[in-house]
Every structure is written in C-alpha cells, then in structure tokens.
Amino acid sequence: MKKLIITSVLYTVVTAVLLGVVYPLAVTGLAHLFFPRQAEGSLIHRADGTLVGSRLIGQAFSGPGYFWSRPSAAGNGYDAGNSGGSNYAPTSAALVSRVAGTVQTLNPKGTGAAVPIDLATASGSGLDPDISPAAAFYQVARVAAERHMSEDAVRGLVAAHVTPRQFGLLGEPRVNVLQLNLDLNKMAPAAAK
C-alpha cells in the first residue's frame, strides 16, 4: 500500500510539473519565437511609442469625429476582466429600450435609413474590436462632416480598412475601429476631437 501511495504522489508531482510548468513555458516560448506580435496581444503603439490599444479588444469611441464601435455590455464597457454579453432575450423590454435609444442617437432625424444591427446591439463577448463594413459606411457622412473632410475621402479610408473573409469563406468582412480611427487622425489630425 505504501508503494502505491508513493507512486501516486510521484506521478502527481511529475505530471503537475510537466503540464503546469514545462508545457506552458514551452508553448509561450514558441509563440513568442514564431508569432511575437500576436503573443504580446497584438498591441498598437503610436509612432512615439505610446500604447493606444489592441487589435483584438474593442474600446469606446464617443467623439462625433470618430467612428463608433459596437456597444459593449462587458462591465462598464469593454472591460476585459468582465467579458460577456447582456444575455437579454430578444423580447426583453430593457433590450428593446436600449436598442431604440441607440437607433435614435445614430439616426436622430428619423430619416428612415436602417441602422446596421451591429451598431445597435452588443456582442456576445462585449469586446469586439470590429464592426461590419455596412456599419462603418453608415457613419461616413457624420464623420466627414465633423472632420470637415469630403465623404469620398472618408469612404475611401473605410474601404481600405475592410478585411475580407479569411480564406474567402471564414467569418464576415469587417473593419477594425481602432485602426480606422488612428488612420483617420493621420488624415485630419487638426480636426480630431
């Protein structure tokens, strides 16, 4: 019996060291070696080295001269430590009220233009960094007016930021809002708010 207990304890210790220390360190080391940018969180820095965000985690943009992100229900908004959706059912009065308020903000004059769904509803994670091309093009007129730019110039910038489906069939076309806004600031820095 004593021999079985010693063997069990040794297997537990060896397995814990191999799978809890050696394996994670090996995988992390290989990730840093072969995919250094991704292993560091796909961080985006300004030319002066200032960290502005990650390509993988959304953030709120509320200024009228910026493209707005998809709403977030994660904590106080885009809280990676509290990731998750609102879990409201489609018939929830709270969801209907929030979506109606968002639509009113995005389309205040009631022009009847359909607001893209991803601008009015939160994602499952609450951290989506991307919006649909339709959502980005929907905001072109507002952003162009605030930045005192031509709509064609802003539309061209959006078109340049559309990422197609991976391998032509996986996912949906998308626009990374942080990268789009950073390039927008480069085009018209004086008008940025």
User: What's the pLDDT tens digit per position in 79-110?
Assistant: 777 776 667 777 888 778 888 877 877 776 55
Q: Is 44 helix (H, G, I), strand (E, B) or coil?
A: strand
Angle at 108 between CA 110 and CA 136, to 5 degrees: 100
Q: What is the reported pLDDT for 190?
A: 46
Q: What is the reported pLDDT for 157?
A: 94
The segments of the chain whose pLDDT lies below 50 read: 190-193
DSSP code of residue 68: P
- Longest Cα pair distance anywhere in the chain, in angstroms? 82
Q: What is the reported pLDDT for 7?
A: 93
Give the pair of three-digit tokens for residue 173: 């076309």
Q: What is the reported pLDDT for 39?
A: 76
Q: What is the reported pLDDT for 127?
A: 81
Q: What is the reported pLDDT for 38?
A: 76
